[in-house]
Amino acid sequence: MPFLVSGNIDLVDRSSLRKLEKHLGIILSPHQYPIEQYNLIRNSLRTKLDSENLIRKMSRRELLSFIYILTQFGDVVQGETPQEYLDVAEIPVVLEWQKGHFMIPYEVLDFLAHSRVFRNQNYLFALIPALPAREKKAWIEWIGAGYEKAFPREINHELYFQCRHLQKPFQGKSLVQEERIRIDQLWAPGKNEIADWFYKGISPFYSAMKELQRAERDPFLLHVLDLIRSGKLVLKRIPEEFGKREQFDLVSTVEGNTPQLRDTVFSWEVQREEREDFLFR
């Protein structure tokens, strides 16, 4: 998975870090506090980076490489990636943090998540931050990650991390072909007591889905529940109409429709409880 450059500049190759610093007009130093580094990067991204301009300035091969890395949850390993998707030397927000290891840092992903371009196309990294806080907490509890920390950004990163591992066995496949599904098409209001908990606002959607996974007997619906739990299908707010109650659909995510090819597991991913990004503490 990608990680925050802030607090972890010792992990990033110096020449690659310099590429990011030059583009953002900042200097990162190990003598700075991690929160200083984070604020430098965040503030510069707001003033120096425009997601639409970033895309427009890329060549076709660079754009394909950038989009491919996004579909792979923000990082790839050279030996496990088709060569045509590694034209990233001139993309300032893609770092070769170690030789042959490329990533889009979390600071950049957090920034791009606010772009309508990626949210409208249903990228998982952009849809997770848009979920209500209670839904994210219910989802992470359903996954069983045991994540109880308070900051929304941390929960976003943890969900993203967990979804990558949950999605890998699917290899981008599912029995659901629709890009958007109305929840009431799967569980009709008044026909399922557990789903009605969500319709009536008694419980978050992901809490209801957790209970449904224990009670459901229909094989197709159990498959749908697996897709929801892994983030291949995600809750997305329908544009509000005046006088109507807030409504949601399920949408198919870009990452969920793409086979996850990375098999390499980095030591920091395994030892996340021992060494975490500074904002995760």
pLDDT of 19-71, one tens digit each? 999 999 999 999 999 999 999 999 999 998 888 888 999 999 999 999 999 99
Are 248 and 205 in contact by the 8 Å Cβ rule? The answer is yes
pLDDT at site 67: 97
pLDDT at site 1: 87
Q: Which of the 8 DSSP states describes residue 244?
A: S
Residue 221: count of CB within 10 angstroms of its CB: 15
Q: Place 145 in a pLDDT band, splitting at 50, 70 and 90.
A: confident
pTM of the predicted structure, to 2 decimals? 0.91
- The helix or strand, by DSSP H or E, that contains position 120, with its residue range, turns out to be helix 116-120
Q: Place 113 in a pLDDT band, splitting at 50, 70 and 90.
A: very high
> For residue range 193-219, what is the model confidence (pLDDT) as tens digits?
999 999 999 999 999 999 999 999 999
Task: Report the alpha-carbon distance of residue 163 to residue 18 in Å, rounded.
Answer: 31
Of the candidates 80, 51, 78, 79, which has an alpha carbon nearest to the alpha carbon of residue 67?
Answer: 51
Q: Which of the 8 DSSP states describes residue 134?
A: H
CA geometry: angle at 269 spanning 86 and 89, to 5°? 20
Please determine, for residue 158, whether its predicted confidence score (pLDDT) is greater than 70: yes
Helices 152-167 and 133-143, axial angle in degrees (round to 10): 40
Q: Which of the 8 DSSP states describes residue 58?
A: S
Of the candidates 216, 182, 214, which has an alpha carbon nearest to the alpha carbon of residue 199?
Answer: 182
165 to 119, 139, 230, 232, 247: CA distances (angstroms) = 22, 15, 8, 12, 29
pLDDT at site 279: 45
pLDDT at site 244: 62
pLDDT at site 166: 96
pLDDT at site 78: 96
Please determine, for residue 110, whether its predicted confidence score (pLDDT) is greater than 50: yes
Please give the single-letter amino acid code of residue 168.
K
Task: Report the alpha-carbon distance of residue 39 to residue 50 in Å, rounded.
Answer: 18
Please determine, for residue 243, whether its predicted confidence score (pLDDT) is greater than 80: no
Average per-residue pLDDT in the chain?
Answer: 90
pLDDT at site 24: 94
Task: Report the alpha-carbon distance of residue 71 to residue 68 in Å, rounded.
Answer: 5
Pairing of strands 75-77, 95-98: unpaired
